[in-house]
Structure 1
Amino acid sequence: MAVQRRRLKLGVTVLTINLFIFILIFRHSSQDKNGRHSVRIPSEPFWAKLLPNSAYWNRLQQIQDLQNNPILTANLSDTGLPYWATETNLSSEPCKHNNRVTTQVKDYNSLPSRFKDFLLYMHCRSYPLMVDQPHICKEPPFLLLAVKSQVSHFDRRQAIRQSWGGAGVVANKTVVTVFLLGNATAWDHHPDLSSSLQDESNRHNDIIQWDYRDSFFNLTVKEVLFLEWIQTRCPNARFIFKGDDDVFVNTYRILDFLKGLSEPKARDLFVGDVITEAGPHRDKKVKYFIPESMYVGKYPPYAGGGGYLFSGDIAARLRSVSQHVPLYPIDDVYTGMCLKKLGLAPEKHKGFRTFDIEEKYRSNPCAYKSLILVHPRTPQQMIQIWTWLSSPDLNCQ
């Protein structure tokens, strides 16, 4: 017993000495040589001066981030922000071209015409509907198939209706199909097919068309218009597949995949053929060319625009956040930018083959059974593959 008391007393003594040494060291470190408390001056400014990004899109996003920063807006007036960050967004109703961009993009005059057109109108986000299907989601679908198409692609749309895009009840789940179109006639001297398109719409009731120029760079416009349309016309769609009209989609496989998801996984679902560590092409001959005056930096992870699958909950969040992300001329990259803004990233799924499968497997029906998407496929090939997969005699053991 006496030994235990001596050990306890020794432990308390050692602890007291250590505490005393710590206090001496702390006091010494916080005083200068004359015993006064020293003041540490930072070697660099705490706040760096806000400078505009040299690339036009990056600068627009920078302005959006500053103007929507709750800390800045709560504590600073407009005069507290740099002059370049206080520009008022141009009204998009009615949408008029923005002449100021001709001086804000340093090499504007040397850019290809498709770029000039995009830059002049990239602030425009609202266009009138020419053809609508206001009651198509009267019964909320489990799966909404949204297909990007063009007016002249009658054969592709019909093949999709006869194959993977057939609306109705598939595998005991309600499926609704819509085709998303712009208007090419007025700008690009295409023949006037409006009468034929109206007949098609009256027959199938699945055409959605807006009055804007349907070009490659305006696919992002189609994206934001579709996100608005969903919230107005189909807000209760459980899941959405969005893709091109030259892909084959295994709708059976999609429904089977969705049935196995947990509720949290289903809510935050966004899957596709994900591309990472990519950046803009600088070669003017490439379709995806983006000049340095437009964008600098890497792209966030994004799912290839041939097709991807996401939840209705994600669609609502994308619609909201897209209002704070400037339009970008490549639609799948833009969607990746919006996801990043939400703090999310698309998930890669091996069933999405946007760069096709090996040639030796393309005529094998069983090669498509476990896949969700294959690109590209002709209308005839779509119907053939769907016939294979729908056959009760198909045996892929």
Structure 2
Amino acid sequence: MARCYCRWRRVLICLCTPCIFLILLFTYVSIMLCMGMTEVATPANTFIATNPHFVANGLLKNETFAPLPKTFWEDQQQTKALWNHLQQAVDYHFNPILHPKKAKRLLRNSSFYDFLLKQSFSEVASFDSVMEDFDKLPEQLQRFVRYMQRRDYPILHHPDGGCGAQGKGEQEPTLLLFAIKTTPANFNNRQAIRQTWGQVGWVAGQKINGSGRDNVGGYVRRVFLLGKQNTKELSVDVSELLKLESNLYGDILQWDFEDTFFNLTLKDVLFWSWFSRFCRQTRFVFKGDDDVFVNTPKLITYLQIQLQTARVKNNMQEFMIGEVIEAASPNRVNISKYFIPDSFYEGSYPTYAGGGGVVYSGQVARRLHLMSKRVHLFPIDDVYVGICMIRLSAFPMHHPAFLMFDFPKDDWKDPCLYHTILVVHKRSPEQVVQLWAGLKETQAQCGDVISETADLLGFSHTTISGFTENGLKNMQ
């Protein structure tokens, strides 16, 4: 019986084994045919990933920010842009993923930042593809690169009042410091500012009917930021005149570097360093050009209201307002003063506030000072501020009363409109004086316009922040 059982088992194995293999083969062929049919049915424009790096699904869907690249970890070695290489060499040391312990140690040791900035030049010099394009850069940009790692320029003239020129008898911390970028030759611009919107001391705020805030005000200080003028270009030496001006007004802060357009960024960096040392109690900074007009009483009231708004008061480490520019790209027109070739910088610009006039808190100024120590200088000053801000995870808030590109059409001729704005750019010294006088002369006749725009500027009881909706979301 046992022999019979073994014989039938061998017969079954011999017969079933081929059947099993045939079934597996049939299953495999069926699967392959289905996959092939699926590929044929796939549209021709289906994305096929060829990038070896991780790719996130889509862009960050937030209209407040400029588009972010899809690639999470880009290979910067493929670019020839000099600034990108230099900054990557510095960022490498602060990468918390690659160097978790080292990154934390460096963040606490800001004195080591200067060494990293200089070391990055040595590291990048080994890339022939980068350095071979250096001689092709415009002469102005070559000169900028040669000196972009230096930040230790001595002060030639310092304000009398420590943190800028001040009025007599200050009894509380300074509410606002006007920090105005100017050049030695622009005496008329500085004088117009001194006589009008840039006056120091106690400044009363804008009286808004029905706001219940008729008695607000604050102490204001003033400082002008300058480098040294090229005497060959100016054809006259104004250094002695500037010395007399400094002695007379005590509001000149001048460093020993050449005052050029690309060195405006250097003014920012040196100003933040100076501010962090001498202006510890100052609440806000207005940084702007010497050809802007500021409605100072309205700005004073606006800032005082912000200090009483819990949402803003608790986020002073991120407070910056101005006319925000988003999704901007470098200017590639070689005849423009903003020209930045792709051999120097690749990529889009971060969100930034127009540099003609911007307001930020004293806390932001000190944070920018620390962050700037680990970010290479960039030729366009307001873009550089945007680069530092985004690295601080802070974003400027757009305010419609900051007009860096003037009024639309011929609206600038309406005197009442100057009661509705905080800052407007591109005004001559003569226009500044006239506009300042006009604010007082037209106060009564423009009362209706002032009341109608109270909500927009943040002066009403119910709407006091003055931020746009997107800006408010960022503060949360």
TM-score (normalizing by structure 1): 0.79
Equivalent in 219, 244, 261 of residue 216 of structure 1: 261
- How far, CA to CA, are the matches of 1:330 and 1:101 in structure 2? 26
**Matching of residues 304-343 of structure 1 within 5 Å:** 304-343=354-393
Aligned residue for 1:157, secondary structure, equals helix
Residue 90 (str. 1) matches residue 118 (str. 2): yes
* Per-residue deviation, 1:76: 7.8
Shift of 1:152: 0.3
Which residue of the partner structure matches residue 184 of structure 1?
Answer: 229
- Kept in 2, the 8 Å contact 1:105–1:293? The answer is no
Residue 312 (structure 2) aligned to one of 259, 265, 280: 265
Q: Over residues 274-312 of structure 1, what are the superposed CA-to-partner deviations in whole Å (9 max), with x where a residue is unaligned?
A: 110101011111221111111111111011111101111
* Larger of the two Rg values belongs to structure: 2
Q: What is the SS of the residue equivalent to 1:72?
A: coil
- Pairwise CA distance, 1:72: 3.2
Q: What is the identity percentage for the equivalent residue pairs of Structure 1 and Structure 2?
A: 41
Change (3 A) 1:390 1:126: farther
Secondary structure of residue in 2 paired with 1:252: helix
| Contact 1:240 1:310 survives alignment (8 Å) | yes
Q: Which residue of 1 aligns with 2:406?
A: 356
3-state SS of paired residue (1:176):
strand
**Correspondence 1:108-127 to 2 at 5 A:** 108-127=134-153
**Alignment-derived partner of residue 22 in structure 2:** none
Question: For residues 271-290 of structure 1, what are the structure 2 equivalents within 5 Å?
Answer: 271-290=321-340
3-state DSSP of counterpart to 1:297 = coil
User: Alpha carbons of 1:189 and 1:152: their partners in 2 closer, same or farther (altered >3 Å)?
Assistant: closer
Residues 49, 285 of structure 1: alpha-carbon distance in 2 compared, 3 angstrom cutoff:
closer
Deviations 1:374-397 (A, max 9, x none): 111000100111111134753211
For 1:63, the equivalent position in structure 2 comes to 89
Aligned 8 A contact 2:86 2:124 in 1: no
Pair 1:350–1:100, CA change in 2 (3 A)? same
TM superposition shift of 1:162: 0.7
Paired with 2:297 and 2:188, the residues of 1 have a C-alpha distance of 23
Residue segments in structure 1 that go unaligned for 5+ positions in a row:
1-43, 78-86
**Residue 163 in 1 paired to residue 196 in 2?**
yes
Q: CA deviation at 1:361?
A: 2.6
- The aligned counterpart of 2:249 is 204
Shift of 1:74: 4.6
Distance 1:135 1:279, change over 3 A: same
Shift of 1:45: 8.3
Are 2:179 and 1:151 aligned?
no
Equivalent residues of 2:325, 2:353 under 8 A apart: yes
Give the Cα separation in 1 of the matches to 2:151 and 2:126.
17
Which amino acid in 1 is paired with 2:185? S
Question: Are positions 1:256 and 2:282 aligned together?
Answer: no
CA contact (8 A) 1:144 1:239 kept: yes
Give the residue type in structure 1 aligned to 2:402: F
Change (3 A) 1:369 1:101: farther
The residue number in structure 2 matching 1:247 is: 292
Per-residue CA distance 1:249-285 (angstroms, 9 max, x = gap): 1111211211222244141320111110101011111
In structure 2, C-alpha distance between the alignment counterparts of 1:183 and 1:394, rounded to whole Å: 45
* 1:132 corresponding residue in structure 2: 158
Alignment partners' CA distance in 1, 2:117 and 2:398: 36
* TM-score after normalising by structure 2: 0.67
What SS does structure 1 have at the residue aligned with 2:312?
A: helix
Give the number of equivalent residue pairs: 342
Unaligned runs of at least 5 residues, structure 2? 1-51, 55-71, 104-114, 205-216, 449-476
Matched residues in 2 for 1:176 and 1:337: separation? 28
Whether contact under 8 Å (1:152, 1:193) holds in the other structure is: yes
Residue by residue, what CA displacement relative to the aligned partner does 1:68-122 show, whole Å, maximum 9, x if unpaired?
2244335689xxxxxxxxx95438xxxx9x9959964332222211011001111
Q: Matches of 1:148 and 1:322 in 2, distance apart?
A: 18
Query: Quick check: 2:230–2:259 contact (8 Å CA) kept in 1?
Result: no
Letter in 1 for 2:352: Y
Alignment RMSD (CA, Å): 2.9
Which amino acid counterpart does residue 110 of structure 1 have in structure 2?
A: K
Taking a change above 3 Å as real, the CA distance of residues 306 and 75 of structure 1, as seen in their structure-2 partners, is closer
Cα distance in 1 for partners of 2:141, 2:429 equals: 31
CA contact (8 A) 1:185 1:191 kept: no
| Amino acid across the alignment from 1:177 | R
Map Cα deviations across residues 44-73 of structure 1 (whole Å, 9 max, x no partner). Answer: 789989653431111122112111224433
